[in-house]
Structure formats: structure tokens, C-alpha cells
Amino acid sequence: MSEMKETDLCHKAEAAKILQCHPDTLKRWRGKKLIENIHYVQRSPRSIRYVRPLIEDLAINWNNEAGHQRAIENYRAGLLSNRKKKR
């Protein structure tokens, strides 16, 4: 996901505000509700950024797993690495 725009990423405080939880709760949710390289990117052990559009969608579709999965697929389809090369 190297072509992900920097504006799509946010810090844990903003992600926690979107999800209406405490920032420390995000750590517990990583690996359970939040998926690495989908909902968040770990650049180093101390640098984790959350993917704002998917965090916002997760907040809306918390109990609608199928709806959130469609949002993940649509977001990933829009990334440069998933576009067909023009000749």
C-alpha cells in the first residue's frame, strides 16, 4: 500500500475520536476488529497510522460486517497498485 495518500492516514487520537473510544482501546482491537495493512499501517514498532476512510466506515458499519467488507474492497480497488496498466 505504498501509494496510499498521506492524507488518508491519521494518528491514534483521531482514530479513537472517530470510533468514540479511548486511544488505548485501539491497541486491544488491533488483530481482533482492526486488520493490519487494512485498517492501520505499522511503519515501525512505535509508529502506527490508521486509515481514516476505513476507520470512518467501521464506525458506521460496526455491526454490519458485510457492508464494511464492501468498503474495504472498494477502497483497495481504488489504490494505484490495483489499477490496470494503460498501454
Span 30-50, pLDDT tens digits? 988 899 999 999 988 889 999
Q: What is the mean pLDDT of residues 77-85?
A: 71
Give me the pLDDT at residue 2, please.
43
Instruction: Give the C-alpha separation, 86 to 8, whole Å.
Output: 25
Rg (C-alpha) for the chain, rounded Å, is 13
pTM: 0.81
CB 51 within 8 A of CB 87: no
Give me the pLDDT at residue 87, please.
66
Give me the pLDDT at residue 86, please.
67
In this prediction, residue 6 has a pLDDT band, given cuts at 50, 70 and 90, of low
Query: Which residues pair with residue 30 across a beta bridge?
Result: 34
